[in-house]
A and B are shown apart, each in its own frame.
Chain A
Amino acid sequence: MKRKNYWYPVDNAGKIFPAVSKDSRSSVFRLSFYLTQNIQPTLLEQAVNEVLPRFETFAVELKSGLFWNYLSPNKHQFRVKSEPSIMCKYVPASKNYGYLFNVYYYENKITLETFHSLSDGTGAMEFLKSITYRYCCLCGYQMEHEGLIRSHIPFSSKENQDMFCNEYDKSKKKNLKEEPAYHLNGEKFADHFSLCIRAQVDTEQLLTLTRSLNVTIGEYVTALLAYSIYTQNVDCRKSKKPIKLFVPVNLRKYFPSNTLRNFSLYIKATYDPRLDWTFESMLSETKRQFLEQLNKEDLHGRINSNVWIEKSLFIKILPLALKNLAFKLGYYYLAENISTYAISNLGPVSLPEDMKAFIKDVEFSIGGTNMAISSIHSHTNIMLNTEWKDLGYISHFIKCLVDSGLKVNIDTNYREGLDEIL
């Protein structure tokens, strides 16, 4: 039965974002489906409003308590909008009827942009799949959901669980101390514009390539990007700070759960730029580091350390206004300052057979200066976003893909003459 008076504390991973988000750091990620025909906004809005009550964790607004923010039911009618030109744009909740996500339409594309306090990529994809499925039904198509559309599966309270707290075991903590990382620098685009370059490659070709090197797609892409930064950024080799690439890991694979809330944690690949690296040496180092960190015990230790901070009495009783100040400092020293770049791999998107015919493509983007990977049908989209005007490392990354024998199709939000106004 549908509940009316539910509420949730913001989950452990999402607690920091309301305090640190702004125009230049939106904490928003984007998921899009490209359909076979142009979108009808009225039907899309109807689809969202029909699906939304099923997704309790999305039908919420953020409220401030004395000690913590929390999520409370939002009963406003949801409005879809035409897609803005800035990807993963920061939209204050007050300008969106309190909702922490946006649904946009553009030509044949449905886009869901979600604030990270609500959910991670896996949870948001479930929501987008349900919206798109309902939209296709409203367009008059008959489809079988095959148990892959969450809105057609009976509600379970497990979907709303804060898995970080569920898995918390204070006796198994791990040291989270991190050293500062090398940062990309140069001139940024104006107006917080994030240039996106989408490299589309054949999944089978990419898998053949990575299998021949005895690595996973994630390891290959991470090593290649690190190598591109290492070779193309002149100041990098002189830097004492290491190149650190952060790779979010979907914890549902290690701690079985069907939660729609945040349940991911990063692992990192670290490279000392003062050493003499070749791509091969970076690849084997990446593989070694991934193997070392990608195990349940290590991930559990990091969950425990993160939750321990939230559970400590001193932090608990600190008023929210002071916590927000602490979050801002903490985010700089424990997140922004220690990361060079982030790479997120959503993996292949599973859709019901009937629905596949209507979905041409999928897109995943984290905005800012990050990389996001998603796969559908027989191709993989590697989305490179950058706020920096210097495209040297991206150019090198794509050149390496081409040189490896992959056919690369480029899509971008760049248009001729854009550099004159940015």
Chain B
Amino acid sequence: MEPLNLDHNEIMRYLSMPADSETKSIQELIEECKRELFNKLRPRFVYRVFDIEKNEHGIVLLGDGFILPGKDIVNHLDGAEKTIVLALTLGIEAELVIKRYARAQLTKTLVLEAVCTEIIEKYSDQVLQEIIKKEGLTQWIPNFGYGVGYGDLPLSLQPQILSLLDAQRKIGLTCNANHIMIPRKSITSIFGLFVEKREQADSCSICSLKENCQRRKDGFPCGRFKRDEK
């Protein structure tokens, strides 16, 4: 894939390291992983754009009738003119690169995971801009990508979201019986498109992992939300 401009601080966060840590060997490892991943990955995405409507169950994707249930997704999309449902995967190559090192070079595996996560973030940003441009939606402003499994939007919806997008056929993305997407380095996200920039809700408040989350305790919650707030 074309190399992306990755945010080094974010990678350090995923590694649970302070951004200013100057451990040379880790820095070198990050660069090595970036090179290897950019060289091997074949990321792909698929999306659909919907007009939406609110009802008592949640958000209805018009034209399809699909319902995104729950209060949190209503909050996320309340007032949105349209929504983009996006699935994106770094492909089986990400899986294979990580597996290749998983037993023998664990530190490298950890760094590969972190770099993959940041690639997904940046690739997602890039893809979203592409979609907005291509679909002539530039008059609106997107909010952050809401993931299936956040808040009260159940993870069990994942297979339906993937079939809504025909993601298996179009980008080779599957989901197992426990709702884990395979290839693992993949996301599905739901963006609202708004007339004006929205105040971002505290994303942690709806997160089911909030009690456990070391990142939150440390004062820097998930990269995606954090960046949106900047």
**Pair from one complex:** no
